[in-house]
Amino acid sequence: MSHKSAKDFFRPLAVGAPLPLREIPARPSRAIHFFDPSNEKMAAKIPAMVGTVDVLLGNLEDAIKADNKVAAREGLVRIAQSTDFGPTQLWTRINALDSPWVLDDLTTLVPAIGDKLDVIMVPKVQGAEDIHYVDRILAQLEAKAGLERPILIHAILETARGVANVEEICGASPRMQGLSLGPADLAADRKMKTTRVGGGHPGYLVREDAPRDADGGFRYDADRFRFQQDLWHYTMAKMVDACATHGIYPYWGPFGDIKDTVACEDQFRNAFLLGCVGAWSLHPVQIEIANRVFSPSVEDIAHARRVVAAMGDGTGAVMIDGKMEDDASLKQCLVLVELAEELAAIDPVLKATYDAIETPEA
Ligand SMILES: CC(C)(COP(=O)(O)OP(=O)(O)OC[C@H]1O[C@@H](n2cnc3c(N)ncnc32)[C@H](O)[C@@H]1OP(=O)(O)O)[C@@H](O)C(=O)NCCC(=O)NCCSC(=O)C[C@H](O)C(=O)O
Ligand SMILES: [Mg+2]
């Protein structure tokens, strides 16, 4: 595979297109809230959701009926043109690159609402070639529309080949903003034997060893603990490493069991702890879960600030509550403190909560 030279990497791909960004801005994106712009009831709710969610995403791909594809695209244009999004980002998910709709998605959206669109989510990305294709078209459309800032690209990791190529996907363009894990399509593509959208499976487990009976034989029929395992751990960790390597952002995707808010919270928290910055919300009830889970807790910030204060110039080692802290744990604490600062800048309630934490003297 041929790579661009370093000097060409940050050149615009079309004459007149905006300069690519050298750093992807760390904008809060705890919940990427999906809505169907062709669904009038849903669409009517969007203006009032501005400011309550970090990202509103007009979905054009799966979950939109084929007969409604054009209405969804036109609905998104209408909503974007008539709404002031304030601090909330506007994203869209375009149709798959091999679908009959994607070219019209791009050629309609960029001229009409390119100045309002922050990120375009591209589904079923297989390799760098898919990103290169969208990258060039976006540059041409941006140049034609006279846009002043580049629209970023977010890829969904939802094919086995995409997972195998995750590193080259992350590094394919300076437009790459992040990746989401799409568990439903990925399960199908891998021929996993599940029927769910995210979450675990009661059959994917590890069982406690069989106890022995008095004769030393094994009692295989005894009641034994079973521990459900995480179907997604490998892929999520691989995605997080690839994103961190390339300075872009990883996200958990959807959790389809809307009523099971407890398991949704678990799924989101696993993602948060492993390095993801957000997850998708499919229903209004999932926004609060994502906003809470992907914001550092008061306890974590209180502890992190203590470590920062105790570590002074950042070198050496100290004991806090019986635990050794050094520059490696300090760096972890700074991740949380910096995230809290970014979130406080857009969320006044969170700011008041973090401000109220007693901070130790340095
Ligand atoms: C999941 C839903 C179909 C549920 O809709 P519904 O049955 O209408 O739910 P409720 O009756 O509880 O709704 C209550 C009210 O809230 C409004 N509503 C519902 N969802 C949304 C929303 N996302 N945004 C805004 N408003 C919403 C309803 O209209 C009700 O309003 P009212 O009657 O006035 O009180 C539905 O939530 C839905 O379609 N969600 C989005 C689904 C989606 O986008 N799916 C695609 C992403 S997941 C995916 O693609 C898989 C992935 O790619 C992979 O491969 O893993
Ligand atoms: Mg999908």
Residue range 139-182, pLDDT digits in tens: 999 999 999 999 999 999 999 999 999 999 999 999 999 999 99
Helix axes 298-310, 327-344, angle to 10 degrees: 130
Q: Which ligand is nearest to the CA of 96?
A: 2
Q: Which ligand is nearest to the CA of 40?
A: 1
CA–CA distance, 358 with 305 (Å, rounded to integer): 9
Could you report the per-residue pLDDT of 63-106, keeping only the tens digit for each? 999 999 999 999 999 999 999 999 999 999 999 999 999 999 99
Q: Which residue's CA is the closest to the ligand 1 atom numbered 11?
A: 283
Counting from 1 in the atom list of ligand 1, the atom nearest the Cα of 158 is 55
CA–CA distance, 36 with 302 (Å, rounded to integer): 40
Check: CB of residue 305 under 8 Å from CB of residue 56: no
Query: What's the gap in Å between 282 CA and the centre of ligand 1?
Result: 5
Query: What's the gap in Å between 120 CA and the centre of ligand 2?
Result: 15
CA–CA distance, 103 with 145 (Å, rounded to integer): 16
Could you report the per-residue pLDDT of 280-326, keeping only the tens digit for each? 999 999 999 999 999 999 999 999 999 999 999 999 999 999 999 99
Counting from 1 in the atom list of ligand 1, the atom nearest the Cα of 281 is 23
Q: Which residue's CA is the closest to the ligand 1 atom numbered 46?
A: 63
ipTM above 0.90? yes
Check: CB of residue 232 under 8 Å from CB of residue 181: yes
Check: CB of residue 106 under 8 Å from CB of residue 140: no
* pLDDT on residue 37: 98
- For residue 276, give the amino acid letter: C
* pLDDT on residue 362: 59
Q: Reduced to 3 states, what is the DSSP secondary structure of residue 208?
A: coil
In percent, the amount of the chain with pLDDT more than 70 equals 99
Question: 3 falls in which pLDDT band (50, 70, 90)?
Answer: confident
Token couple for 156: 């969904």
Check: CB of residue 100 under 8 Å from CB of residue 135: no
Q: Which residue's CA is the closest to the ligand 1 atom numbered 27?
A: 42
Q: Which ligand is nearest to the CA of 124?
A: 2
Cβ(74) – ligand 1 distance below 6 Å: no
pTM exceeds 0.95, yes or no: yes
Cβ(37) – ligand 1 distance below 6 Å: no
Using a 10 angstrom Cβ sphere, with 0-12 exposed, 13-18 middle and 19 or more buried, the burial of residue 240 is buried
CA–CA distance, 179 with 176 (Å, rounded to integer): 8
Token couple for 76: 């998104």
Beta bridge partners of 58: 35, 92
Query: What's the gap in Å between 280 CA and the centre of ligand 2?
Result: 12
Could you report the per-residue pLDDT of 197-237, keeping only the tens digit for each? 999 999 999 999 999 999 999 999 999 999 999 999 999 99
CA–CA distance, 73 with 333 (Å, rounded to integer): 43
Query: What's the gap in Å between 190 CA and the centre of ligand 2?
Result: 13
